[in-house]
Every structure is written in C-alpha cells, then in structure tokens.
Amino acid sequence: MERLPGFRDFYPEPLPHSDVWSADVRNYLFDKWRNTARAFGFREYDGPPLEPLDLYTLKSGEEIVGQLYNFIDKGNRAVALRPEMTPTLARLVGAHERHYKKPVKWFSIPQLFRYERQQKGRLREHFQFNADLLGETDPAADAELIALLISLLQACGLTPSDFVIRLSSRNAWHDYFARSSADPAREYEFYQVIDKLERATPDESEAKLAALGLSLDAVRHFIEAGQPTPELSTIIQDLSARGLAEFVKIDYNVIRGLAYYTGPVFEAFDRQGQFRAIAGGGRYDHLVGLITGGKVQLPAAGFGLGDVVLTEIITQRRLLPKLEARLDAFCLIEDESIRRDSLRLIHELRQAGCAVDFPLAPLKSDKQFKRALDSHAAYTLRLERSTHGEISVRIKNLRTREENVASPAEVLPLLRLP
Amino acid sequence: MERLPGFRDFYPEPLPHSDVWSADVRNYLFDKWRNTARAFGFREYDGPPLEPLDLYTLKSGEEIVGQLYNFIDKGNRAVALRPEMTPTLARLVGAHERHYKKPVKWFSIPQLFRYERQQKGRLREHFQFNADLLGETDPAADAELIALLISLLQACGLTPSDFVIRLSSRNAWHDYFARSSADPAREYEFYQVIDKLERATPDESEAKLAALGLSLDAVRHFIEAGQPTPELSTIIQDLSARGLAEFVKIDYNVIRGLAYYTGPVFEAFDRQGQFRAIAGGGRYDHLVGLITGGKVQLPAAGFGLGDVVLTEIITQRRLLPKLEARLDAFCLIEDESIRRDSLRLIHELRQAGCAVDFPLAPLKSDKQFKRALDSHAAYTLRLERSTHGEISVRIKNLRTREENVASPAEVLPLLRLP
C-alpha cells in the first residue's frame, strides 16, 4: 500500500532516504515561524482544509479548477481542498470584521493542495506560512510584511548572501501600460506576459507583446531602469531604517501571476538562482470586498512562504541543527522486584516535564544500556533497594560518565543541572 | 460565502459566538499534548491527509465508504480524506520497519474527516491526538499508553473527579463467547451488540443476543461481576505503581466498535456522563500485517484523543487559562521625525524575541495609547530626541505605571524584567 504521488510522509527524525521527510524538521520550521510572527505582533488563525469550490472560482475564474482537488461531496456540494489561504482569510475577517481593531495582523500555517501534472520532485501539497495585514493602505504595511518575511528566513539561518527580496509593483506596470496606447481591457493579459518573461523565449514574449501593440525592447528597458515608484521608495526607506536594505532590490520582472494583486508585489529568491521562489506576496486591496460580496471593504496585503523550497535550501546549506530523539533519562530496570518503585519515580519525573523512558518488559542489562545510548538519554537511572528496604537511585551522566547516588526525591533537581 | 457545514474556522482569541473556535485554544491543547507525549518518550510523525481509498476499505470493509470524504482524483485514483490515522501509521512503520528499534513509540495530531449525517453540533472534522506503541506484546505497553492518556488529560487540568478510564478487553468477551455454544463465525456480530448495549433498548439487545443463542441477563451479570482478566490485572497493578489507580475502572460495557482490536480496550469518559467519549483505543496486534500485506508483523496498541469533546469539557469546567493577544511592548510614535529611529529599535527588540507592535501610519496620541492597552502590551516605549540629537527611550510599565528613561541599547534588558 503506497501513499499517493506528490504527497509526503513525515517520519520523526530525518531518514537516509530522499523521499522521506521529517516531522522534527517541520516542527523546527513551524516553531521558528510562529515565534517570529508573534514577535511582529501577528496572531494565528486557521480555517477548513476543505472549502466550497466557489470560494476559489469567484476569485481566480473557472480556469483554476483544472489545478484543484475538487469533487462533489455526499451532500451534493461542489468542494475543493484549499489551494491557497487568502480566500479563507477574507471570508473569516469579513464574517467578524467589526470585532477587530485595524490593522488586523494575522498568520496561519495551512497545508495547501494543487493537482499539478506530476513532475519529478513536484509535490501536490505543501505547508505554507501565510501572513496578512488588513485595514492599512500605507506602504508601511507592505514594509512590515517584507520585514517579517526577511526575519522568518533569518530565523532559519539564512543571510543576505543566501537570499534577496525582489520588490516590484503592479502600479508601476499599470502606469506603464496606461502610458502605452494599448487596449485597457487587455491589461491583465499584459501582466501575464510580464509574469512569464523570464521563463519564455524572447520570440514568444516579443510576439505576445506585439499583439498588444508593445515592444519587448521597451519593456526590457523599463525593467533595467528599475525606477522605484513613490510607494516602493517609501518601503525601501522603511526597511533601511530597520537595517534590512541589503535584503531588498527593485526588480520589475516580478509581477505575480494571480489576478487580484493591486500594488506592491514581492518574491524571495536564493541569490544563486538554484531554486524556485522561496516566498511571494503583495497588496490585494479589493479581494475582501469581492469575497464578502461587497459587504466588507478592507485594503490588505500578505505573503506566503512554503516549507518545501525552504527545507531544500537550509538542508543544502547545512543550516539545520541536529534533530534527534533525546531523553532526559532512561531508567534501567535490571531487577524486576524494583519495577514498581521504578514506575513511581518515572511517572513523577514525567509529571515534572522530564522526558523519561524505560524497558516495558524484562530485557538483558546490556540491551537496556544500549537502548539508553540509542535514545540519546542524558542520564541513566537505576534503582537499588538496601537490606533495610530503602530505595536509592544511581544516576549516571552518560556524557561525563560521572555517577551519583541519591534518594528518589533528590533525582529531579539533579537531572535539571546542565 | 459560508464555510462548509461541519467544518470549523479558528479565530485567534475566543470570540463571543458559539460557532467560532479559537486557534489560541487549539495551540494551547497541542502544546500540552506534545510536551506530555515527549515526556513519555513518544516521537511525532505525520502522513498525508489524503490517502488511497483502499487503505481504509482493506481494514474496515466497504461499509466505511458511506462515512468518508472519498472521490476520484484527476489521475483516476480512488482517494479519501483520512477518517483515522492508524492505517497511515501502519503503512509508515511497515515501509521502514527495520530502521526502528522496538518498541516504536510515536504520536501525531492529524485532522480527521468523516462525512456523518449532519446533526446539531456534530462536526465532520476534528483534530485527534494519536499515540501508538508498536513491537511490544507485554501489557506494560497498554499500561504505558493509558498512563499517557491520563497525563494528557491531567495536563489540561482534569482531575480524577472529572474523568475515568473504562478498561475492558476483547479477550474477556472472546472467552465469554467461546464458552457459549454460539456460532464462532458470528463473534464480531456479538461484539457489535455489546458495543451498542448502553445505547440500545433492552428489548433490542435481548433480541439480538437471543439470535446468537445468548441471554441479556447473563451478559449483564458478566459485566457487573467485572472480573479482571490476567492482562487487565497486570495493567491495573502497573498503573497503581504509578499512582494512577483512581483514574481507572474495569468496565466490560466497553468493547470498541472497530473490527481490528485484539486485546485490552479502553475509553475515557467524563464522570458525570454529560459528554461523548473523550478518548478511546486498544490493542490491534494484526493490523500492521494486514496493511503491509503480511510483509511486516508487529504487535501494537494505541489510542486517539479528539479536540472537540475535550475543549467542550475544559471550557465548561473553566480550566482554560486566559488566552489573549499579548505584547511585550507597544512603541508609540507621536512625532513622525522619530519614526526611523523607532523602527530601528522595534526591529532590534523583535530580533531578540520580544513581541513589539507600533502604529504603521500616523495616528493621534490617545488612539495610539488605546491600541497599546487593547493589545495588552506590558510596556509602552516612546523615543525622544534631545536638543543635542541624542535618542532616549521613555519606558512605561502599563501595570505599575512606573516610568524609566533609558538609551535604546538599555531597553531590551529592562523589558525582560518580570
């Protein structure tokens, strides 16, 4: 029985198999993300992984259905596994908008699903950190999000030599398009050409731009000039004040594929260009209005940071700490007559928060000790009963090999020593 | 746009609406669960939320399909959202069985899905803490799991007066059935009658038992006598040694519905019987062999603890701590000329792990202060520039109203004071 293609199993520690992912690594990332987001004053939310199909077609049109895990449920509803979080967020905020002071700063770590045509290494699910800031039009909001993104990547050990934020704006391209004599109805079509510029051949791009009455040379010149719009200047000044200027550059190649972006957009890439985008986002001032049928209008911006590319990068850069099973103590039970007393002590230590394991069934002494070593226990404990019936505990530090003898009540403070 | 019936949105803090759940409460539970499981030496794993449909029909028969979110994906595969975790666990352990020392002690917190007929308050998804212990037949393994379950509930604030573990065994009922002259092929049918005994009317049960050649009176007598089997005696002795005897009672009404249980089974209930089962599990020695097509045979036991009933109970008992937005500091920016210096300090504090927020756009002084209070900040910070151009920071403790003035570099240690 195999798992589905494009889906991942998460084993505890990293295993020596390229197709095996680690729940310990995932928790390591999630902890870094949560702590960083909370330091920025963002609060966590979540929604259902299954949503009405309409929530996505409303925003992205029917063409998205080809990439979804969608089906008809037993109640005859058209439903889909969530391919992104922003529509769910817009629904949540829209439903209880008045309860929240603005700006709303929220994050989430949803698992997202896309039925992409199977390619080597391409997954059909990933976890994505999402941060969104609603209710603030000032570019300071965009800067706050970009600063958070930089800090999330720094928290995972990445430096300015590892990654860069490519900053752009739909407004710059909107103005460019408006200045041309092209058909205003075809603006989004133009954005799609820009979005594919780096992946398409020059001939393809040239032909598509010509069909819009535009020239590839002029587009390239505009990109190379890289004149920041006023809002982008403000964002860069803000990030400079925070000491983050070296992480950001203007790059009008970035425009983001999705239709709903309305202002500054950005993507994070590794400097060497070996990997796909690490993260991306931007401003979407009309989406909450669209999702709530016009009931709630809230300007907003946000970004998503996936776990797959980031894990690949920090693994390649050897930035992951050693994540392994670790116990505070392994209790050896070499004499079954001492098992009940051992169980009592083990349970007390666990109640106090220590990680303690022991042999559930009788086991040879040397095998017990090997299990203590295999489980990376800091100490072994061994209970002994004196001829007077008193219990003492022999505590061995497995790193220093130092031994102590103590009463059961004295064990806990000894384990807590560094 | 509404969410699907039976699914939950998780807002940051608890809102005053009965249909709104809280991500903070969920994180509180998950943290308690993870810390307790790790103290017992259990390690975390996860698998895909979408699995091949066969993984479930193989184990539970075709009848389970009526309760599943199942569909045909775009690659023509019959798939289902996972309704339980045990088949995934058996698949994972089976695939890399030789890599792991026995016993394997693993836990996971999957979201699970069932398409149940819609009833008031009945959900179609929940999060379920799963712990499993594989590779050990000794009843000490069952005791270890029950001790973990008790500790998980204690960690959430529940006491022996709140809940009880009802302990039973398929072996007790197997022997009972074997002693009768009933048709051995109908043993599982008999288990189903026992499973429904407390919910069915006496007449229904009597008729079903009569059809098997058995009497309700005799069954009831067997339950009331409650003679522990040898394995149950061992489990109770083990739990007594840990000081947990008061949490457990023999109760042969419990038999667990699923076909695959093979030995001790147990359920956790609130003492007052107001709620559905809090948790349940038992021994399933043949499932890994079944899932792996006989390649890997591993005895196993485990249990599941859902988030819904537990959250209802601890909410009703008022055992939840106050979970609210909390900031270490809110930085007031009353003079825009000081914004850049404020941004630098804010970013340094956040990098050091402090939760700090500030007004993104210019805002009236009193509104800024109100936002500091609303966000439960411990301190406000206000930067000031002297006539010589030096920056100082006015630090106000919002609880004691005490004020300090310090240089930017001195702020961090001051915020860390209790």
Interface membership of B238 toward A (CB under 8 Å): yes
CB contact under 8 A, B39 and A347: no
CB contact under 8 A, B243 and A347: yes
Q: Which residues of B touch A43 (CB under 8 A)?
A: 12-13, 23-24, 325
Residue B23 CA, distance from chain mean position: 13
- B72 assigned to some structural domain: yes
Q: What is the pTM of this model?
A: 0.95
**Residue to test with chain A: of B343, B351, B354, B371, most A Cβ within 10 A:** B343
Q: What's the pLDDT tens digit per position in B286-327? A: 999 998 999 999 999 999 999 999 999 999 999 998 887 789
Q: Smallest Cβ distance to B3: which of A74, A91, A101?
A: A91
Q: Which of A265, A293, A316 is the last residue of a domain?
A: A316
Q: Which of B32, B17, B9 is nearest to B320 (CA)?
A: B32
In this structure, are B299 and B339 located in the same domain? no
User: Does residue B342 contact residue B331 with C-beta atoms inside 8 Å?
Assistant: yes
CB contact under 8 A, B242 and A74: no
- B361 assigned to some structural domain: yes
Q: Domain count of chain B?
A: 2
Is the C-alpha dihedral spanning A10, A67, A297, A189 positive or negative?
positive
Residue A405, domain CATH: 3.40.50.800
- From the number of C-beta atoms within 10 Å of its C-beta (0-12, 13-18, 19+), residue B230 rates as exposed
In this structure, are B140 and B114 located in the same domain? yes
Q: What's the pLDDT tens digit per position in B381-395? A: 999 999 999 999 999
CB contact under 8 A, A4 and B51: yes
Interface membership of A347 toward B (CB under 8 Å): yes
Q: Is the pLDDT of residue B242 over 90?
A: yes
In this structure, are B16 and B158 located in the same domain? yes
CB contact under 8 A, B144 and A69: no
Interface membership of B243 toward A (CB under 8 Å): yes
pLDDT for res B243: 97
Q: CA-to-CA distance for A155 and B191, rounded, in angstroms?
A: 54
Residue whose token pair is 């209880």: A96
Q: Chain A: give the shortest CA distance to residue B300, in Å.
A: 13
pLDDT for res A323: 83
Q: Smallest Cβ distance to A92: which of B9, B81, B138?
A: B9
Mean pLDDT of B206-210: 95
pLDDT for res A63: 76
Q: Smallest Cβ distance to B1: which of A91, A105, A237?
A: A91
In this structure, are B309 and B347 located in the same domain? no
- From first to last of the 418 residues of chain A, give the pLDDT tens digit: 789 999 999 999 876 666 789 999 999 999 999 999 999 999 999 999 999 999 998 877 777 888 999 999 999 999 999 999 999 999 999 999 998 999 999 999 999 999 977 666 679 999 999 999 999 999 999 999 999 999 999 999 999 999 999 999 999 999 999 998 889 899 989 999 999 999 999 999 999 999 999 999 999 999 999 999 999 999 999 999 999 999 999 999 999 987 789 999 999 999 999 999 999 999 999 999 998 999 999 999 999 999 999 999 999 999 998 887 789 999 999 999 999 999 999 999 999 999 999 999 999 999 999 999 999 999 999 999 999 999 999 999 999 999 999 999 999 998 876 5
Domain with B269, as residue range(s), is: 10-316
pLDDT for res A124: 96
Pairing of strands A43-44, A21-22: unpaired
Three-state DSSP at A100 gives: coil
pLDDT for res A245: 97
pLDDT for res B182: 83
Of A133-142, A179-188, B215-224, B341-350, minimum mean pLDDT range: A179-188
In this structure, are B279 and B357 located in the same domain? no
Q: What's the pLDDT tens digit per position in A205-215? A: 999 999 999 99
- B271 assigned to some structural domain: yes
CB contact under 8 A, B3 and A347: no
**Residue to test with chain A: of B13, B30, B46, most A Cβ within 10 A:** B46
User: Does residue B152 contact residue B29 with C-beta atoms inside 8 Å?
Assistant: no
Q: Which of A388, A392, A389, A395 is nearest to A415 (CA)?
A: A395
**Counts for chain B of helices (H) and strands (E), in that order:** 14, 19
Q: CA-to-CA distance for A279 and A258, rounded, in angstroms?
A: 14
- B24 assigned to some structural domain: yes
Q: Which residues of A touch B291 (CB under 8 A)?
A: 1
pLDDT for res A415: 87
A350 CB neighbour count, 10 Å cutoff: 23
In this structure, are A108 and A249 located in the same domain? yes
Q: Smallest Cβ distance to B238: which of A11, A343, A355?
A: A343
User: Does residue A314 contact residue A25 with C-beta atoms inside 8 Å?
Assistant: no
In this structure, are A300 and A390 located in the same domain? no
CB contact under 8 A, B52 and A2: yes
Interface membership of A96 toward B (CB under 8 Å): yes
Token pair of A152, please?
């999330």
Q: Which of B278, B296, B316 is the last residue of a domain?
A: B316
Q: Which residues of A touch B375 (CB under 8 A)?
A: 41
- A374 assigned to some structural domain: yes
pLDDT for res A118: 67
Report the complex ipTM.
0.95
Q: B282: alpha, beta or left, given left = phi > 0 and alpha = psi -120 to 50?
A: left
User: Does residue A11 contact residue A24 with C-beta atoms inside 8 Å?
Assistant: no
In this structure, are B166 and B82 located in the same domain? yes
Q: Which one-letter amino acid corresponds to residue B128?
A: Q
In this structure, are A300 and A395 located in the same domain? no
Residue B238, domain CATH: 3.30.930.10
Could you say which residues from 167 to 206 on chain A have a Cβ atom under 8 Å away from some Cβ of chain B? none
Token pair of B297, please?
């045979």
Q: Chain A: give the shortest CA distance to residue B386, in Å.
A: 20
Residue B91 CA, distance from chain mean position: 21
Q: Which of A281, A316, A351 is the last residue of a domain?
A: A316
Residue B206 host element (H or E): helix B202-211
- A3 assigned to some structural domain: no
In this structure, are A242 and A157 located in the same domain? yes
Q: Chain B: give the shortest CA distance to residue A223, in Å.
A: 29
pLDDT for res B405: 96
Could you say which residues from 363 to 392 on chain B have a Cβ atom under 8 Å away from some Cβ of chain A? 371, 374-375
Q: Smallest Cβ distance to B41: which of A79, A147, A356?
A: A356
CB contact under 8 A, B50 and A4: yes
Q: CA-to-CA distance for B99 and B106, rounded, in angstroms?
A: 14
Q: What's the pLDDT tens digit per position in B253-271? A: 999 987 789 999 999 999 9
Mean pLDDT for all residues in chain B? 94
pLDDT for res A16: 66
pLDDT for res A7: 95
Residue A395 host element (H or E): strand A391-397
**Quick check: bond before B103 cis, omega within 30?**
yes
Q: Is the pLDDT of residue B118 over 70?
A: no
- B3 assigned to some structural domain: no
Residue whose token pair is 């510029």: A197
Residues linked to residue B329 through DSSP beta bridges, in sequence order: B356, B379
Interface membership of A294 toward B (CB under 8 Å): no
**Residue to test with chain A: of B1, B73, B112, B127, most A Cβ within 10 A:** B1
In this structure, are B177 and B71 located in the same domain? yes
CB contact under 8 A, B147 and A347: yes
Q: CA-to-CA distance for A275 and A277, rounded, in angstroms?
A: 6
Is the C-alpha dihedral spanning B344, B347, B352, B358 positive or negative?
positive
- A1 assigned to some structural domain: no
Terminal Cα distance for chain A, rounded = 46
Pairing of strands A300-306, A264-270: unpaired
Residue whose token pair is 């690490």: A278
In this structure, are A263 and A406 located in the same domain? no
Q: CA-to-CA distance for B171 and B165, rounded, in angstroms?
A: 18
